[in-house]
Amino acid sequence: MHRREVLKTSAAALGTLLGAGAIEAYPMGVNTSSRPSKLKITDLRVATIVKPGPSPCPLVRVDTDQGVYGLGEVRDGASPTYALFLKSRILGENPLQIDKTFRKIKQFGGHARQGGGVCAIEMALWDIAGKVYDAPVYAMLGGKFRDRVRIYADTTESKDAKVYAQRMKERKEKMGLTWLKMDLGVEMVSDTPGTVTAQSDLSQWDMSQLSHPLLAMEVTDKGIAMLEQYVAAVRDAVGMEIPLSMDHLGHLGVKSIIRLGKAYEKYNLSWMEDVIPWTYTDLLKQIADESPTPILTGEDIYLKEPFRVLCESHAVGKIHPDLATSGGILETHKIGDMAEEYGVPMAMHFAGTPVSCMANVHCAAATQNFLALENHSLDVPWWSSMVQEGARSPIVDHGWIDVPDRPGLGVTLNEDVVRQHLQPGTGYFEPTTQWDHERSWDRLWS
pLDDT at site 31: 66
CA atoms of 62 and 311, how far apart (whole Å):
35
- pLDDT confidence bin for 208, thresholds 50/70/90: low
- With beta carbons less than 8 A apart as the criterion, state whether 195 and 226 touch: yes
Asked if pLDDT for residue 4 goes beyond 70, the answer is no
Contacts of 126 (CB under 8 A, 6+ apart): 70, 98, 137, 140, 328, 329, 330, 359, 362, 408, 409
Residues 113 and 151 grouped into a single domain = no
Is residue 13 domain-resident?
Answer: no
Q: Are residues 106 and 168 in the same domain?
A: no
Task: Give the integer Cα–Cα distance in Å for 209 and 358.
Answer: 33
Average pLDDT over residues 304-332: 98
Distances (CA, A) of 119 to 113, 124, 325, 331, 446: 10, 9, 6, 9, 27
Mean pLDDT of 284-312: 98
Total domains in the fold of the chain: 2
In this structure, the answer to whether residues 144 and 41 fall within a common structural domain is: no
CA distance 200 to 207: 8
By C-alpha distance, which of 41, 39, 40, 43 is closest to 434?
A: 43
Are 431 and 375 contained in the same domain? Answer: no
Residue 243 lies in a domain: yes
User: Is the same domain home to 55 and 78?
Assistant: yes
Question: Are 262 and 153 in a shared domain?
Answer: yes
Percentage of the chain beyond pLDDT 90 is 81
Alpha-carbon distance of 367 to 444, in angstroms, equals 32
pTM: predicted TM-score of the whole model, two decimal places:
0.90
Burial of 223 (0-12, 13-18, 19+ CB in 10 A): buried
> Could you tell me if residue 275 is inside a domain?
yes
State the chain's mean pLDDT as an integer: 91
93-132 pLDDT tens trace: 999 999 999 999 999 999 998 999 999 999 999 999 999 9
Tell me: do 335 and 356 sit in the same domain: yes
Average pLDDT, integer, range 225-240? 98
Q: Are 402 and 392 in contact (CB under 8 A)?
A: yes
Q: pLDDT of 333-390, one tens digit each?
A: 999 999 999 999 999 999 999 999 999 999 999 999 999 999 999 999 999 999 986 6
Any domain includes 16: no
Does the structure show a pLDDT above 90 at 8? no
47 and 114 assigned to the same domain? yes
- Domain ranges, residue 391: 140-409
Please check whether residue 91 lies inside any domain of the structure.
Answer: yes
- Among 326, 322, 263, 274, smallest CA distance to 106 is for 326
- Same domain for 130 and 151, yes or no, is no
Distance CA 219, CA 184 (A): 13
What percent of the chain lies above the pLDDT cut of 70?
90
Tens of pLDDT, residue by residue over 123-182, are 999 999 999 999 999 999 999 999 999 999 989 999 999 999 999 999 999 999 999 999
